[in-house]
Amino acid sequence: MKALKILPYCFDGVTPKTFNPGDPVTVGKDVRADHVPGLEAAGYLGPDDAAVSSLSLIAAAPPVAPLSNELRQDGPTVAQYVAAGYLASNYPPAGYASKSTSDEIAAAVEAEKKDGNDGGGTDEPKVDDHKFAKVEIIEAWAHLDWPTYKALGSAVSDTPITNKAEATTAIEAELKRRADFAEANKPKTK
């Protein structure tokens, strides 16, 4: 038998091997005997004298377009950028061409400075680095079984959790802290 198309196969479930069109394939060594009928029906395997189509020699992956250093032209104007809560001093966004004139950008940066923002900030949102911030609290936390509920309460508390009321208080306090953080760090809009 031989491969008629590119055939990725793993006989032992551990070591993969790829057979190219025309490669010999030994039943029982390269492929399992019970897989042969399906591989033949799908056109992957055939007898040694079977013709291999020249089309099957072409890899299945589509050609990859070359990377482009061109800037995207569909970005925002400086006014749209600032209205979305970003700093004018960071305009245009990375990878985008400016759609505003240099005078419009300069005016927006000047207005930003008058508002008390020196432009030294970042347009990235602040990261909540509180010690409990990485603890995942699922939406249905109130319906967890007791061992999981207690573990979640303990994960967001500095004091030991001994009952459901203490766990509930700790979880609700952490949810409030997160909501307060998100509210305090929303991008400003004008």
Is 130 found in the same domain as 119? no
Mean pLDDT of 162-184: 91
Task: Determine the Cα–Cα distance for residues 133 and 186; give it in Å rounded to an integer.
Answer: 17
If pLDDT is split at 50, 70 and 90, which confidence band does 44 have?
confident
Rounded to whole angstroms, how far apart are CA atoms 156 and 90?
36
Instruction: Retrieve residue 129's tokens.
Output: 């680095």
Question: pTM score, two decimals?
Answer: 0.37
Within a domain: 150: yes
**Which strand (E) or helix (H) includes residue 82?**
helix 78-83
Q: Are residues 41 and 73 in the same domain?
A: no
> Which of 57, 79, 99 is the C-terminal boundary of a domain?
57
Q: Note whether residue 144 is domain-resident.
A: yes
Buried b (16+ CB within 10 A) or exposed e, 29-42: ebbeeeebeebeee
Q: CA-CA distances (angstroms) from residue 157 to 43, 128, 130, 153, 171?
A: 61, 17, 12, 6, 8
User: What pLDDT, on the 0 to 100 scale, is given for residue 188?
Assistant: 66
Among 41, 53, 9, CA closest to 27: 9
Q: Let me know if residue 64 belongs to a domain.
A: no
Number of domains in the chain: 3
Q: Which long-range contacts (CB under 8 A, 24 or more apart) does 178-183 make?
A: 178/128, 178/133, 181/128, 181/130
pLDDT at 54: 54
CB neighbours of residue 45 within 10 Å:
25
Asked whether residue 149 falls in the same domain as residue 108, the answer is no
Span 83-97, average pLDDT: 84
- In order of 18, 69, 167, the CA distances from 145 in angstroms are 48, 53, 12
From 2-16, 27-41, 56-70, 160-174, the region with the lowest mean pLDDT: 56-70
Residue 63 lies in a domain: no
Residue 189: band (very low, low, confident or very high) from pLDDT cuts 50, 70, 90: low
Give the whole-angstrom CA distance, residue 73 versus residue 52: 47
Domain of 7 in residue numbering reads as 2-57
Domain final residue pick, 35, 57, 79: 57
For tokens 């479930």, the residue is 13
